[in-house]
Amino acid sequence: MSFLADSLARVKPSATIAVTQKARELKEAGRDVIGLGAGEPDFDTPDNIKEAAIAAIRRGETKYPPVAGIAPLKKAVAEKFKRENRLDYKPEQVIVGTGGKQVLYNAFVATLNPGDEVLIPAPYWVSYPEMVALNGGESRFVECPIETGFKLTPEALDKAITKRTKWLMFNAPSNPSGAAYSAKELKALTDVLLKHPHVWVLTDDMYEHLLYTDAPFATIAEVEPKLYERTLTMNGVSKTYAMTGWRIGYGAGPKPLIDAMVMIQGQQTSGACTIAQWAATEALTGTQDFVPKFKRAFQERRDLVVSMLNQATGLKCPMPEGAFYVYPSCAGTIGKKAPSGNRIATDEDFCRELLEAEGVAVVHGSAFGLGPNFRISYATSAPVLEEACTRIQRFCNALN
């Protein structure tokens, strides 16, 4: 009998962290490896944000924060929702967590009973099903194939809802596919949700500012105000402001839900790092000048990667509309023989052989619930991406 909890049997470690770790180990062992697994911008946190943290330390802002978040940050979050998303949230409807990840986790702890279902469009961010499982819920996956641009359709949503559905876990622009939705597309989904009043929506808007379409970003509670009372809108500073290591995310929603999440956080972390909260306050209230600059750089890299991957034999790479990932299909390589002599039967084989032959670390699609595909994070410099794609082309063209 194991000393460890039974619930661990239901949970897998993060595949994206595993690939990043593997690439790091190979590099340390002297291999020439390009890691495209990690989902974090390569840019440094802007100076005004760093300075705000340093000033906070100097002022002695080094004590426990209020559990839900420091008042200036909650106010800045409420103003951000008003300014950018036309959503009215009072500061007491806001929770600040240790990354967006903790906000999601708190929401599941606060709401899931055994057997409750969470609808997760696939491909999905690796952590959703594991968080659901850890909290006794059941994930119900809705396949969103390449043919629909990896997007959830109203028909698929309607069909997947059961009496036990508690949440729709919605993420756009999507990690890993980059799929994004116009307000009109969202409205078609919210129309379905209006027919099912027991279903709440947890919308993960983490990549809001990395959207390359002409249509502006829209979020669920904005396009359908009738869903305001059953939507938790989650977002954070990690991706937009190159602040992954500061660990600040936030959410806003109906007060009873936020109160429950705050209660849980009070027994867990007592709130997110005070200094990082001051930095996040500056991120949301200070200059936004670098946001479009980051976005432009990502868009150029996306165009480069998509074009180069589509020149590799057996790969098909749709043009993603947002985030900093591409999610090409490697169906055309399945059944072929790699330089090692092994046959490629799955996307996991493809990624392992690619790493072995060319030293390029990418994450297999089966980890995100839809394949045969793989995910490349293009949040790295253009020369590195060009070299990585050249190696991928060489690898694919040599398969036979």
Ligand X SMILES: Cc1ncc(COP(=O)(O)O)c(C=O)c1O
**Among the listed residues 165, 171, 233, 333, the single contact to ligand X using CB under 6 A:** 171
- Cβ closest to ligand X, residue 87 vs residue 248: 248
Determine the interface stretch with ligand X among 2-10, 97-105, 305-313, 364-372 (rule: CB under 6 A). Answer: 97-105
Closest by CA position to 199, among listed 245, 223, 232, 175: 232
Confirm or reject binding of residue 100 to ligand X (CB under 6 A).
yes
How does DSSP assign 235-263, residue by residue?
EESTTTTT-GGG-EEEEE--HHHHHHHHH
- Cβ closest to ligand X, residue 80 vs residue 336: 80
**Three-class SS state of 314:** coil
- Tokens representing 145 are 């194939």
Is-contact 293 89, C-beta < 8 A?
no
Closest by CA position to 373, among listed 123, 201, 205: 123
- Cβ closest to ligand X, residue 175 vs residue 329: 175
C-beta atoms surrounding 394 within 10 Å: 14
CB-based contacts of 180: which residues, under 8 Å, 6+ apart? 172, 173, 174, 211, 213, 217, 320, 321, 322, 323
Determine the interface stretch with ligand X among 151-159, 213-221, 236-244, 299-307 (rule: CB under 6 A). Answer: 236-244
- Per DSSP bridges, beta strands 231-236 and 200-204 are parallel
Determine the interface stretch with ligand X among 86-94, 96-104, 112-120, 377-385 (rule: CB under 6 A). Answer: 96-104
Closest by CA position to 42, among listed 386, 397, 389, 377: 377
What CA–CA distance (Å, rounded) separates 335 from 327?
20
Confirm or reject binding of residue 284 to ligand X (CB under 6 A).
no
CB-based contacts of 54: which residues, under 8 Å, 6+ apart? none
Determine the interface stretch with ligand X among 98-106, 162-170, 261-269, 271-279 (rule: CB under 6 A). Answer: 98-106
To the nearest 10°, report the CA torsion of 159, 173, 183, 116. 30
**Among the listed residues 39, 121, 129, 322, the single contact to ligand X using CB under 6 A:** 39
Confirm or reject binding of residue 101 to ligand X (CB under 6 A).
yes
Binding mask 189-208 for ligand X (x = CB under 6 A): ---------------x-x--
Confirm or reject binding of residue 37 to ligand X (CB under 6 A).
no
**Among the listed residues 35, 65, 99, 318, the single contact to ligand X using CB under 6 A:** 99
**Residues 291-330 close enough to bind ligand X by CB under 6 A:** none
Report the nearest approach of ligand X to the CB of residue 229 (Å): 23
**Among the listed residues 177, 231, 238, 373, the single contact to ligand X using CB under 6 A:** 238
**Three-class SS state of 151:** coil
Residue appearing with tokens 């991120």: 283
Confirm or reject binding of residue 240 to ligand X (CB under 6 A).
no
Determine the interface stretch with ligand X among 95-103, 279-287, 331-339, 375-383 (rule: CB under 6 A). Answer: 95-103
**Among the listed residues 137, 149, 236, 365, the single contact to ligand X using CB under 6 A:** 236
Binding residues vs ligand X (CB under 6 A): 39, 99-101, 125, 171, 175, 204, 206, 236, 238, 244, 249
